[in-house]
Amino acid sequence: MQGDGVHLNRQWHSLAEIVGSAFAGMGTRTGERRLHTELAADLPLVELDAGLFERVLVNLLDNAIKYTLPGATIWIRATALGETMHLWVEDDGPGLPVDRNAEALFEPFTRGVRESPIPGVGLGLALCRSIVAAHGGVIVASQRQPHGARFEIHLPLGSPPTIENESTI
């Protein structure tokens, strides 16, 4: 993706449908963790590559599962503020490493825990950042209070197409 960039198949989608697909794609990997969504009821459509954006959500969910204990809660929240879609993936686990800059987690081959039995090569968050940036957005990581990790994505909303009322057709 770095060499050729990210090639997007952008279409207008419901974020709720993409979140639902990401949750469904997790299957039994969630174990005993609880998944919750808090999506504003009036979310507008967003123009994005659904497959790639679902990959972002799955990567973030996979990380939350890897770094939390069974019984943890993982949330996906979203709201539209002004011209921006705000999306959060949060957990109530131990949080981000305190000895590392959260920004460094997005570097290729960087892992949250240097020596760990947790599988992975450290490309997931770098891939997430590339995909979000290709959509004109940003992703940042921070500590969730009182504990846990928070990944926040901001995406430009653009101008969704007008949907005609069926009764006027």
CB atoms within 10 A of CB 122: 14
- What is the pLDDT confidence band of residue 121, given thresholds at 50, 70 and 90? very low
**Dihedral (Cα; 128, 11, 136, 121), 10-degree rounding:** 10
**pLDDT exceeds 50 at position 94:** yes
Look at 112-116, 138-142, 155-159 and tell me which has the smallest mean pLDDT.
112-116
Question: Which domains, and CATH codes, for the chain?
Answer: 11-160 (3.30.565.10)
Tokens of 43: 């979310």
Estimate to the nearest angstrom the gap between the alpha carbon of 134 and the chain centroid.
14
Would you state the pLDDT for residue 116? 46
Would you state the pLDDT for residue 141? 95
- What is the pLDDT confidence band of residue 1, given thresholds at 50, 70 and 90? very low
Q: Give the Cα-Cα-Cα angle 113, 60, 84 (nearest 5 degrees).
A: 130
**pLDDT exceeds 50 at position 89:** yes
Would you state the pLDDT for residue 166? 63
- Helix pair angle (15-26, 50-66), 10° resolution: 50
Residue 61 contacts residue 20 (beta carbons within 8 Å): no
pTM, full prediction: 0.84
Question: Average pLDDT of the chain?
Answer: 86
Q: Considering only CA atoms, which of 109, 111, 117 is closest in space to residue 99?
A: 111
- What is the pLDDT confidence band of residue 25, given thresholds at 50, 70 and 90? confident
